[in-house]
A and B are shown apart, each in its own frame.
Chain A
């Protein structure tokens, strides 16, 4: 589902964020991406989202070479991937409902379908009764769950998360991880960047470790 074939990424300043990375994540897999701060985790996710292009090597998503996805096709590509960010990236002047509805509105679903799906997603993350609230009135854990609901509302094949538990306490972090496992169980490929090694070790999933942009373990399934 997600294939990196000897991918390198060098930023303009000459810094190598990724060096010769090869990974193969299959459909229905849930994988952790770990490593010290600055190891290249976010960079790897950014390449999948086409927020950046690799300097060398190939990235294939669902068999499609991302080098062949032109800039006009990027929005369509992103609609097929759900993303959760550490800093939530919510619209603070819109209700929880509107935030979660955003991907569906972009994709052009009609009002009824949007309502149905948003409520289903909010129900899944346990925030159904807060749909009218503004994100600012929610706790950090709740905001993160709104971000997760938004990431899955379009029923993407792939779910990416960059430090989704970065500023949550251990109990909330475990809840969030459990949510990801549930999505994975219904067939979503999940890739989570995190340096919370304690939490990762409790969950039994493949873990890919980066160090200074190099793959040190977790290459094979």
Chain B
């Protein structure tokens, strides 16, 4: 450029503008502007924005509530994990001496907390007393009940280890059958596991849905600002510049959705907590519902924001490129 006044001024300005510091400031400034501008646009249409937030909030709250419910169910069942009891039914005709020997042996097993022998006579007596079938039982020729050893594993054993223990006992020659009174608990646990996976799958679907909803919202925003995008590109706006406000819109929609989800989950918990505590009190427990907590809620907002960004990115990368000045 020649040294005339205009170009000298122009070069001075562009020098200060292209320094690294200057560029960083400009970049930061545009981020501030776009984020504020996008938020204002969202707040400018409160009704449709709140609807969008609600839709996203509900979609996020659904799997989170189920997860909270499962978490609480898991806590309830974990308090029932022990003691589990094993009943060892001895083979018919086991002698008193052999039974005694077995009990002594079992008492030394460090995996067992308690061992109790119930002879077939004691068992019949108790059964007669409890069942009320005294007449019938008196008429029996012989006692149909076997000797039983009741053993209680130590608390630290996991359900799997207890099951292994049961198999071990059943392999003993003196033991005809070993039953575990924990089967229902295992069933509950596998039911919980199944539910957990279903929630995970459902959550996956809903998250996918949230991304699509947000993507579509941003697509409509892009569509409604098509002319503006063309003009901005005509006067030299880069793709990043054009993209930025839409990415922020997605972020705000997602963050708002996350806040709504956290509110919905908290409201649900509040609604259920009184009857649950009442019910627990009836069972003599001080159990109370545990929610996602502050950290969980913040995570929900964070996840919402990330999904919003993802949805916006999807829309922007699909639709912005096609809008070029003609």
Chain A residues packing against B (C-beta within 8 Å): 49, 51, 72, 75-80, 83, 89-91, 102-103, 105-111, 113, 150, 155, 157, 186-188
A sample of 15 cross-chain residue pairs with beta-carbon separation below 8 angstroms, ordered by A number, consists of A49-B234, A51-B325, A78-B234, A79-B235, A89-B227, A89-B234, A102-B231, A105-B33, A107-B26, A108-B17, A108-B22, A108-B27, A155-B10, A186-B6, A187-B4
Per-position binary interface string of chain B over residues 1-40, scored 1 when its CB falls under 8 Å from any chain A CB and 0 otherwise: 0001111011001000100001101110110010000000
Residues of A within 8 A of B26 (CB): 107-110
Residues of A within 8 A of B239 (CB): 75
Q: Are A83 and B234 in contact (CB-based, < 8 A)?
A: yes
Q: Kindly identify which residue among A89, A107, A157 contacts B236, using a CB–CB cutoff of 8 Å.
A: A107
Q: Are B17 and A107 in contact (CB-based, < 8 A)?
A: yes
Residues of A within 8 A of B227 (CB): 89, 91
Closest 8 CB pairs between A and B?
A: A108-B26, A79-B236, A78-B236, A75-B238, A103-B235, A75-B236, A106-B237, A155-B10
Residues of B within 8 A of A102 (CB): 231-232, 235
Residues of B within 8 A of A78 (CB): 233-236
Q: Is B155 an interface residue (CB 8 A)?
A: no
Residues of A within 8 A of B238 (CB): 72, 75-76, 106
Residues of A within 8 A of B241 (CB): 75, 106
Residues of B within 8 A of A76 (CB): 236, 238
- Interface residues of B, count at CB 8 A: 32
- Which one of B5, B26, B29, B236 has the greatest number of beta carbons of chain A within 10 Å? B236
User: With contacts A105-B30, A186-B6 known, is A91 near B231, CB below 8 A?
Assistant: yes
Residues of A within 8 A of B6 (CB): 155, 186-188
A127 to chain B, nearest CB (A): 18
The residue of chain B having its C-beta at the shortest distance from the C-beta of A186 within the complex is: B6
Q: Are A89 and B231 in contact (CB-based, < 8 A)?
A: yes
The residue of chain A having its C-beta at the shortest distance from the C-beta of B231 within the complex is: A89
> Other than the known A109-B13, A109-B26, what 13 A-B pairs have Cβ atoms closer than 8 Å?
A49-B234, A51-B234, A51-B325, A72-B238, A76-B236, A77-B236, A78-B234, A80-B236, A102-B232, A106-B235, A107-B17, A109-B17, A110-B29
Q: Is B181 an interface residue (CB 8 A)?
A: no
Q: Is B104 an interface residue (CB 8 A)?
A: no
The residue of chain A having its C-beta at the shortest distance from the C-beta of B321 within the complex is: A71
B233 to chain A, nearest CB (A): 7
Q: Are B29 and A75 in contact (CB-based, < 8 A)?
A: no
Q: Is B324 an interface residue (CB 8 A)?
A: yes
B75 to chain A, nearest CB (A): 54
Q: Is B326 an interface residue (CB 8 A)?
A: yes
Q: Are A75 and B233 in contact (CB-based, < 8 A)?
A: yes
The residue of chain A having its C-beta at the shortest distance from the C-beta of B240 within the complex is: A75
Q: Are A187 and B17 in contact (CB-based, < 8 A)?
A: no
Q: Are B233 and A110 in contact (CB-based, < 8 A)?
A: no
Q: Are B228 and A91 in contact (CB-based, < 8 A)?
A: yes
The residue of chain B having its C-beta at the shortest distance from the C-beta of A50 within the complex is: B325
Residues of B within 8 A of A83 (CB): 234-235
The residue of chain A having its C-beta at the shortest distance from the C-beta of B27 within the complex is: A108
User: With contacts A155-B9, A187-B6 known, is A103 near B30, CB below 8 A?
Assistant: no
Residues of A within 8 A of B4 (CB): 187
Residues of B within 8 A of A157 (CB): 7
Residues of B within 8 A of A187 (CB): 4, 6-7
A148 to chain B, nearest CB (A): 13
The residue of chain A having its C-beta at the shortest distance from the C-beta of B16 within the complex is: A113
How far is B6's CA from A91's CA once the two chains are assembled, in angstroms?
Answer: 28
How far is B233's CA from A76's CA once the two chains are assembled, in angstroms?
Answer: 10
Residues of A within 8 A of B25 (CB): 108, 110
The residue of chain A having its C-beta at the shortest distance from the C-beta of B1 within the complex is: A157
- Which one of A75, A91, A103 has the greatest number of beta carbons of chain B within 10 Å? A75
Within 8 A of A (CB), among B54-101: none
The residue of chain B having its C-beta at the shortest distance from the C-beta of A94 within the complex is: B228
How far is B239's CA from A150's CA once the two chains are assembled, in angstroms?
Answer: 20
How far is B235's CA from A102's CA once the two chains are assembled, in angstroms?
Answer: 8
B227 to chain A, nearest CB (A): 8
B32 to chain A, nearest CB (A): 11
How far is B23's CA from A150's CA once the two chains are assembled, in angstroms?
Answer: 22
Residues of A within 8 A of B30 (CB): 105, 108
A205 to chain B, nearest CB (A): 20
How far is B326's CA from A105's CA once the two chains are assembled, in angstroms?
Answer: 23
